[in-house]
Structure 1
């Protein structure tokens, strides 16, 4: 997989739900859009099971593929955690590995979908701040922070997609 994020709206699959994924080392946050691809909502937090150095998919990949099927998604958006200068770290490898595994598994079950990498700079920080502002403390919020980050990733993708769509109609 490539190092740079994809562009929202490029090779767009059209209308339908999108799934947003925030890959962490302990948990994976999942969000889904409405059918019109306008609003991202939290879905669940999946415990991380698959390891980078392991050739076997864990139960986390199984669950992610199930969620994608349950929501009848047309596109999957995985956050690519880069710093403010656009550089990656080990977290980028984790995100790319999970994206690659999801794409492979969807192909295996004859449901190939675009699996995109989206720039997710500051998504977890924004999600954490939003939760704090709503009165959720960090300790209690750990299980939902990943979902909130996935919502932030997906909503940013949907908004950029909508802007591009609006520009093409001008």
Structure 2
């Protein structure tokens, strides 16, 4: 397992959840929810978070259907990740499968007693936590970085 903090991003249409982990990669925790309707502003804020947290990589959740296919949402996330990778280079950006992350986050929040109304503002952060925790566990098990590295095209 590589040592170093990571940031995870759950890209949604309205909001972008962000999570981070400790330098040992043991525990993912929520950071903030970035408004997502203004994508250039959202990428600027994510760039600020990368500068602040100094991660070894940024993990972006790639939405796929249950059968593994990619739809229009995955295309938007790929484009967003490409722009983000250019912005935060040389910090690598990796795409990881995020199937069911929002469902798992919502379930966990309900189980902890957070109402749907109050949870709406935090669900994206919780989904980013699920994405990052899964990526960390994948790396621990496989012994290599999770997902696919986004190539920076200049």
* TM-score for both structures, normalised by structure 2: 0.89
**Structure 2 unaligned spans of 5+:** 145-154
Runs of 4+ in 1 over 4 A off after TM superposition: none
Please give the secondary structure, in 2, of the residue aligned with 1:28. Answer: strand
Name the CA distance, whole Å, in 1 between partners of 2:72 and 2:38.
Answer: 15
Deviations 1:19-44 (A, max 9, x none): 00000000000000101112110000
> Corresponding residue for 2:151?
none
Please give the secondary structure, in 2, of the residue aligned with 1:143. Answer: coil
1:38 aligns with 2:26: yes
Alignment map for 1:1-170 (pairs within 5 Å): 14-50=2-38, 58-107=40-89, 112-165=90-143
Q: Is contact 1:23–1:94 with CA below 8 Å preserved after alignment?
A: no
Q: How many residues align?
A: 144
> Corresponding residue for 1:5?
none
* TM-score for both structures, normalised by structure 1: 0.81
Deviations 1:5-64 (A, max 9, x none): xxxx7xxxx31101000000000000001011121100000001345xxxxxx2100000
**Structure 1 unaligned spans of 5+:** 1-8, 52-57
Q: Is contact 1:81–1:91 with CA below 8 Å preserved after alignment?
A: yes
Query: Cα offset for 1:137?
Result: 1.3
Bigger CA radius of gyration? 1
Name the CA distance, whole Å, in 2 between partners of 1:146 and 1:37.
Answer: 20
Query: Cα offset for 1:83?
Result: 1.0
Query: Cα offset for 1:148?
Result: 0.3
